[in-house]
A and B are shown apart, each in its own frame.
Chain A
Amino acid sequence: MYSFRRFDRSTFLLITLLVISFLLATFDVRAEGSGIGTTMREGAQTLFSPLQRAMSAATRPVVAFIDGISNIAGLRDENERLRAQVAELSAQIRDRAVLETKVADLEALNDLATPGELAAVSARIASPGSSDFDQIRWIEKGTSDGISVGDAVFDDRGLVGRIDFAFEGSARVLLLTDPSFGVGVRDTSTNETGIVEGQTTELSLKMFQAQDPVEEGDLLVTSGSRFPPGIPVGIVKKTATNEAGFALITTVEPLVEVSRLDYVKVIVGWSPLDAGAADEVPIGSAPGLPGFNP
């Protein structure tokens, strides 16, 4: 009899907690970044930030050692890939001087701002989230440094994501690989515009009115609709053409390596209105070109 009563009570508590969880999830999804969930997240960040910093500092040598061991198998392949990349980049550097002059002339002519000239705040990654499913990073800077929700986040390779929660001393970055992330992009080869969306490990590109095909290897940069124009986003993985009546859809390799982020920069104080004639900007900010100087 006692056992039955105990079972009954625990089952009741289980159901109560499940209902609370379900309601929390429902309200949090509907709140879309505001409400009690945001307050609770801020409280948890305030409580855990010092603990996380202390833990990271204490375990950094161990983490680096284990990371090195777990990656040792891939080092040879990576070495070969890097050698090939060095050869390719050497050729690009030779062409860069010519392009720098051209782009500087164009920028002077149009009086346009580029990401490298915008105000940006550097921040260290504080936490990679709480599970392998997460497509977020917490950074050690927040609203006190001028960061606000919606700001673009990038590193030396290109777009990392955007701020989706900002608190006084910390902020959460939604990675561009998250399925809920989307950004307007422009193909630097054809000047066609489209939308890139996260697909967890890669990105997908959709173009609805493209006249020209996108080719494998084409560089995509932000178009200026939401973030400053010209930030490199990714490289087209597969050539695709626009079939009549259908959108052009293909896959894109992100330029940033989201699993290896350590420091990022947040563009602060930029509004889509600042882009002015955003459609005229894109050329200046491709990797290796002078417009993008994180």
Chain B
Amino acid sequence: MRRRAIGLAIALVVSTVAIQTSVFGAGRIQPFGASPALVLLVVIGCARYLPADPALLIGFTAGLLLDLLGGSALGLWAMTYTVIAYLAWRARDRADDGPLVIAVGVFLLTVLGQSLFAVAGTLFGQRIISNPVVVKHMLLPAAYNVVLAALVLPLVTRLLGDRRRGWAL
């Protein structure tokens, strides 16, 4: 069961990275100049059900794939998503599973993820913080993720979580 869940999580992450890098972004779906951080949402979803080690490794792998297919130095998204996976995994037993808590959690973790990347990128010479639209690139993806969480998290629950919960968050 655990191996099956990890295998499904890897497949889910790879598919989501392909969607993120081909469907979203400049010239694709980018409403108001920003796109959802779909991979981050899937990492959060996986961290809610997987044990700590696989959850962290899934976060690291997802981030590394984004690094390889994006414009950042290798390791920056990997670092960010590992931290997000860790926080999501740590928080899952400490918070209620209600929709409001999940929405707030997804919003905060997305803002934190985008902020961490902006700071790490700037430290490694990418001057992201000086980007005049950096705040927009932190807040809008978080808002989009809250909306998409209603679709994505039930899907992750269905694939990795307790099947009896069906499509619940």
Contact = CB atoms under 8 A, between A and B. Distances in A.
Interface of A: 6, 9-10, 13-14, 17-18, 20-29, 37, 40-41, 43-45, 48, 51-53, 55-56, 59, 63, 66-67, 70, 125-138, 172, 174, 178-180, 200-201, 258-262
Interface stretch (B29-37, B96-104, B153-161): B29-37
Nearest to A3: B93
A48 B21 contact: yes
Chain B interface residue bracket vs A: 35 or more
Nearest to A127: B21
A132 B32 CA distance: 11
A9 to B, nearest CB: 7
B34 A134 contact: no
Given A17-B82, A21-B75, A132-B137, A179 B127 contact: yes
A18 B53 contact: no
A21 B18 contact: no
A10 B52 contact: yes
Given A133-B128, A200-B133, A28 B73 contact: yes
B121 interface: yes
A178 to B, nearest CB: 7
A131 B118 CA distance: 11
A56 B125 contact: no
Contacts of B91: none
B17 A133 contact: no
Contact of B66 (A6, A23, A131): A131
Given A13-B56, A56-B23, A25 B73 contact: yes
Contacts of B18: 48, 51-52, 55
Contacts of A137: 26
Contacts of A262: 27
Contact of B74 (A24, A127, A138): A24
Contacts of A178: 71
A128 B131 contact: no
Nearest to A71: B31
B151 interface: no
B49 interface: no
A18 B56 CA distance: 10
B147 to A, nearest CB: 13
A21 B78 contact: yes
Interface of B: 14-15, 17-35, 37, 39, 52-53, 56-57, 60, 63-79, 82-83, 86, 89, 117-118, 120-121, 124-128, 130-134, 137, 141
Contacts of B20: 130
A214 B53 CA distance: 59
A174 B118 CA distance: 18
Contacts of A13: 52-53, 56-57
B71 A22 contact: no
A258 B26 contact: yes
A200 B132 contact: yes
A260 B125 CA distance: 26
18 contacts: A18-B83, A21-B76, A22-B75, A22-B79, A24-B78, A25-B75, A40-B74, A55-B18, A70-B29, A128-B21, A129-B71, A130-B66, A133-B72, A133-B134, A179-B126, A180-B127, A259-B27, A259-B33
B74 A66 contact: no
B30 A132 contact: yes
A28 B74 contact: yes
B130 A200 contact: yes
A11 B14 CA distance: 25
Contacts of B89: 10
Contacts of B117: 131, 133
A55 B22 contact: yes
| Interchain residue pairs A-B with the least CB separation, the first 3 | A130-B70, A24-B75, A128-B25
B52 A6 contact: yes
B137 to A, nearest CB: 4
A14 B137 contact: no
Nearest to B63: A21
A261 B22 contact: no
Contacts of A37: 74
A63 B29 contact: yes
Given A29-B124, A130-B17, A133-B128, A201 B133 contact: yes
